[in-house]
Amino acid sequence: MNFFMPARLYTGEHCFEKHGDILQGLGRKCTVITGRHAAKESGALKEVSETLASRNTDYSIFDGISQNPTVASCMEAGTSARAFGAEFLIGIGGGSALDAAKAAAVFAANPRLKEDGFYRKEWENPPLPIVLVGTTAGTGSEVTKVSVLTDSKGRKHSIHDDRLYAYASFGDSRYTMSLSLPITLTTGVDVLAHCTESYFSRKADSLSRSFAIQGICLLYEPLSAAAEGKPLSPQQREQLYEASIFGGLAINTTGTCFPHNVGYYLTENYGIPHGFASAAFLPDFLKLVVKDDRDYADSFFREIGFGEDAILSLTGKCLPKNSIAMTEAEILTALPRWENNGSVQNTRSAVTTEMIRKILIQKYQKS
């Protein structure tokens, strides 16, 4: 086993208020990094603001983070934090805001840093301390060293570095109660993809597999209810949030596999939300890994307590109707991005660009 996750994690109702004293050593000024709506609607921004005020911590708010955050917006957030004199950052939101906060912490500490230097990790100074407050149940960014950003060419890339771990993360599932059904579904299937891909990663070990199994076992019942359009109870929301944390712990060890990286293409070019884009390739992923190692796959199904058909059925209920139509020329143009790609090669079974071509043609080629 090979495991490292130094972030402090607090969960439960009002956990930020209860454990806010842990921030005292970080400084007296911080910048909150978030989007324009979710942090307010969830109640997280109000609780964080009140807690900071009660502890005499001055703060500014940068709310210019959108879905699939750009490197440019993170540079802007870092500049804003530096101008305010922030000594640490607090990211509030789903995976986009949390990943952006990690990158903003790097740019805040490195005023001369540009996009290419960010990806090459040419950081003269360490990032500012990062505190994360999750408001969705999807990426598990609270417990990972990963930030996924969109570069100046419109391409999504992930960067992995131990310096991107949060100093502390807070998960209060009450903040997820205001999520719409589409967001609940896309973040939920993202967790399902995280856990499934991690289990069938070449880097999987006994600990990462236990995280993946626990995540799916927590996820299955509440996500099934959401897929049927049923309102979720606070307990079910808590299960979804805990599942997302286990999924984050799993991929923090193993990384993701080809569904995630091929899914980036759907997000970049067709605006498909990240979770839906990744889960679109989950049936193809399972078909491949089951065929290549039936015994290993059977151990996975035994541990989660249900079979391949149940996962495929749940995925199908969550995904929106396909509206994508690709030309063969477009597919061929896209294929080089997956040559020698780390996530593609991370899949337990061998995956080639020819296999990806066939999958894209079968799913999306115009008739």
Tens of pLDDT, residue by residue over 213-261, are 999 999 999 999 999 999 999 999 999 999 999 999 999 999 999 999 9
Residue type, 110: N
Same domain, 249 and 131: no
Q: Are residue 91 and residue 189 in the same domain, yes or no?
A: no
Q: Tell me the β-bridge partners of 149.
A: 157
User: Is there a domain that residue 99 lies in?
Assistant: yes
The whole-number pLDDT of residue 367 equals: 65
Calculate the alpha carbon distances from 325 to 89, 273, 353, 362 in Å.
Answer: 41, 17, 19, 11
The SS3 of residue 78 is helix
Helix (H, G, I), strand (E, B) or coil at 10: strand
Asked if residue 1 belongs to a domain, the reply is no
Residues 188 and 155 placed together within one structural domain of the fold: no
Handedness of CA 277, 280, 286, 292 (dihedral sign): negative
Q: How far apart are the first and last CA of the chain?
A: 48
Domain finish residue from 117, 152, 175: 175
pLDDT, one tens digit per residue, over 69-90 is 999 999 999 999 999 999 999 9
Distance CA 260, CA 264 (A): 6
251 vs 146: CA distance, rounded Å: 10
Low-confidence ranges of the chain (pLDDT < 70): 367
Residue ranges in 200-352 assigned as alpha helix (H):
206-227, 234-254, 258-270, 274-279, 282-292, 294-304, 308-318, 328-334, 342-345
Residues 221, 350, single domain; the answer is: yes
Specify if 3 maps to a domain: no
- Note whether 100 and 215 are same-domain residues: no
pLDDT attached to residue 38 = 87
Look up the CATH number of the domain holding residue 242.
Answer: 1.20.1090.10
Buried b (16+ CB within 10 A) or exposed e, 257-288: bbbbbbbbbbbbeeebbbbbbbbbbbbbbbeb
CATH number at residue 117: 3.40.50.1970
Its pTM stands at 0.96
Residue 17 identity (one-letter amino acid): E
Single out the residue of 62, 65, 64, 17 nearest to residue 43, CA to CA. Answer: 17
Q: Parallel, antiparallel, or unpaired: how do β-strands 130-134 and 88-93 relate?
A: parallel
Cβ–Cβ < 8 Å for 28, 58: yes
Joined together, the tokens standing for residue 310 give 């149940």
Residue among 256, 252, 257, 250 at smallest CA distance from 209: 250
Q: How many CA atoms lie within 13 A of 72 on its CB side?
A: 6
Tell me, yes or no, whether 310 and 162 share the same domain. Answer: no
Dihedrals φ, ψ of 89, to 5°? -120, 150
Residue type, 240: L
What's the domain range around 23? 8-175
Task: Give the 3-state secondary structure of 178-207.
Answer: CCCHHHHHHHHHHHHHHHHHHHCECCCCHH
Instruction: Determine the pLDDT at residue 167.
Output: 98
Q: What is the count of structural domains for the chain?
A: 2
Q: What is the pLDDT of residue 96?
A: 96
Distance in angstroms (rounded) separating the CA atoms of residues 58 and 192: 39
Q: What is the pLDDT of residue 196?
A: 98
Rounded Cα distance, 315 and 328, in Å: 26
Same domain, 108 and 211: no
Cα separation of 296 and 350, whole Å? 15
Helix (H, G, I), strand (E, B) or coil at 266: helix
